[in-house]
A and B are shown apart, each in its own frame.
Chain A
Amino acid sequence: MKLAVCINHVPDTAAKINISADGKNIDKTGVNFVFNPYDEYAVEECLRLKEKNGGEVIAVSLGSDANKETLRKALAMGVDKAVLLKDDSPRDSFSVARALADYLKEISPDVIFFGKQSVDSDSAVVGVMVAEMLGLPSVSVAVKLEISNGSAVVEREIEGGKEKIRTSLPAVFTAQKGLNEPRYPSLKGIMAAKSKPIEEKIPAAVQPKVDVIALRKPASKSAGKIVGTDIGAVPELVRLLHEEAKVV
């Protein structure tokens, strides 16, 4: 079974976000970049599928040399091969999906995994777009996956519950927290990953369909009112919610 997992290198969720001088990007100074959290579940699921069914896992990342850090971590977790689609140009979801789809078409995997979204642009569209570009079915926000006899039964999260989807393979899946518990790389894995090569490819340039006009910080609220410091404040809080805010 050939498994591909698309991973991204993103600002840590604990990072403060500042806007760069051009007003369209983030200021990367002092920002720690990490393995996109949802992509760790995607890698883990591919490793488990390989352990069960045999085959190989290929990790793919689109971006600059900095993404190699995340590709290395995927190698340390146990993926067999890492590929960097090297590209520094600004891309929208569509052009990211196109670059990934072009590469994935070459290697034609049986299963393609993504995290459900990158915690930078938060679009949550690339995985499904890649599926459509490749003419494959997809299931997004997967929390449980079972594969047998060329088809998959997947549970995906929906409002207030789950839905069970049956899909043919090959297919694209996007991983939600809860799908599994990602492993920590072993020391042996980390050492081995250091000497493994990362293949580099240059994706074709694609005109973005979305233009960023501005990136800005949300209007900050003025600090609120401390109603009190003991149980005596409760009736006043209720009065404020009822009469001032009119929310209860």
Chain B
Amino acid sequence: MKILAVAEQRENKFKKPAFEVVHTARKIADQTGGEAIALVIGSQIQSMAAELGGYGAHRIIAVDEPRLEKYSSTAYSKVIAEIAKKEQASVVLIAATAMGKDCAPRAAVKLDAGIGSECIALKTEGSDITATRPVYGGKALTDIKINSAIKVFTLRPNVFASGDSSENKAEVEKAEIPLAESDFSSVTVETLQASEKLDVAEADIVVSGGRGLKAAENFKMVEELANTLGGAVGASRAVVDAGWRPHSEQVGQTGKTVSPTLYIAIAISGAIQHLAGMSSSKYIVAINKDKDAPIFQAADYGIVADAFEIVPALTRELKKITGK
């Protein structure tokens, strides 16, 4: 069985989900006696592609041409589908990132393949794969099997292990996929990066604030705590709807689903739609003055007290450890 892992790069850098996808492909290959093939799409990416050997790729294919420098859903999905066909891959793994979620459904249609999106577990039995994915915003999980010849899975970032880079090496093979003008009917003209700010969905530590903080300016203490921990700031829906924080920070069913190692919920009561988006975090800390707040049911550690008193003290105490 051949497993094609699409290793996403942006501005010629890999982010962690690329390694997670390659490492997962290798694991499936080891279990099935198959081959893990990493695919990198971009411009001038041949040398960086070699790094994927360390994460377990048996082979690395680079589709390298100037027009692929920036993301295009139409062109990237064509490259993925053409390489999958050429290599006769039976499984295609793509990270469930903004880019991956945009091009995977297209590639699936081109391959006449079923798709399981935002998977959080893949279980192999023989050549059979059962995928687990959250539904209803994380209030339920579903186990699925794909019955088409080719199977496409997108993997939720931060859930699958990326492994540590090893001594394993693989040659980078250059592949040409002929692309017509019409394959670039949608193209990225500009990337507007907000800042070097860590995205709440990618962060290992998330500090979120809720309506109990009373005003937008009181998020300063949430930011300070997040900075001390090297984490990202999140927000509840109430706070985003009130315009205190941007929607990109919203955690919950109509925001982002996060599964960091540590999630600190400050003055968040824990509405069901919020819990759905963060309850898969490894450790949850709740700080709320209402002892009956549902957030305490989801938390590993709780402090029942006023956030305005606790949070600055917590930041000070943590600084002793982090040295920041």
Contacts and interface: CB of A to CB of B under 8 A. Distances in A.
A228 interface: yes
Interface in A155-177: 155-168, 171, 176-177
Interface in B1-55: 15
B322 A248 contact: yes
Contacts of A158: 97-99, 191
Nearest to B103: A128
B254 A238 contact: no
Contact of B301 (A17, A37, A224): A224
B231 to A, nearest CB: 10
B247 A178 contact: yes
| Residue of B109, B144, B285, B298 with highest tally of chain A CB at under 10 A | B109
Given A165-B189, A226-B304, A217 B141 contact: yes
Interface string A30-46: 00000001100000000
B219 interface: no
A215 interface: yes
Given A160-B198, A161-B194, A214 B115 contact: no
B144 A211 contact: yes
A238 B283 CA distance: 13
Nearest to B114: A209
A120 interface: yes
Contact of B108 (A125, A153, A215): A125
Given A140-B101, A160-B197, A237 B303 contact: yes
A98 B273 CA distance: 30
Contacts of A192: none
Interface of A is mostly: mixed
A34 to B, nearest CB: 12
Contacts of B77: 132
Nearest to B283: A245
B190 to A, nearest CB: 4
Given A122-B135, A247-B262, A218 B141 contact: yes
A120 B135 contact: yes
Interface residues of B, number: 100
Given A160-B197, A165-B189, A210-B145, A225 B136 contact: no
B56 interface: no
B240 to A, nearest CB: 8
Contacts of B185: 136-137, 167-168, 171
A241 interface: yes
Interface in B279-312: 279-280, 282-286, 291, 296-305, 309-310
B186 interface: yes
Given A245-B283, A247-B262, A213 B143 contact: yes
A17 B262 contact: no
B283 A234 contact: no
Interface in B233-292: 246-248, 250, 252-255, 261-262, 271-273, 276, 279-280, 282-286, 291
Nearest to A19: B140
Interface of A: 11, 13-17, 19, 26, 37-38, 92-94, 97, 119-126, 128-129, 131-133, 136-141, 153, 155-168, 171, 176-178, 208-218, 221, 223-231, 233-235, 237-238, 240-242, 245, 247-248
Interface of B: 15, 71, 73-74, 77, 97-99, 101-106, 108-110, 113-118, 130, 133-148, 185-199, 201-202, 205, 229, 246-248, 250, 252-255, 261-262, 271-273, 276, 279-280, 282-286, 291, 296-305, 309-310, 313-314, 317-318, 320-322
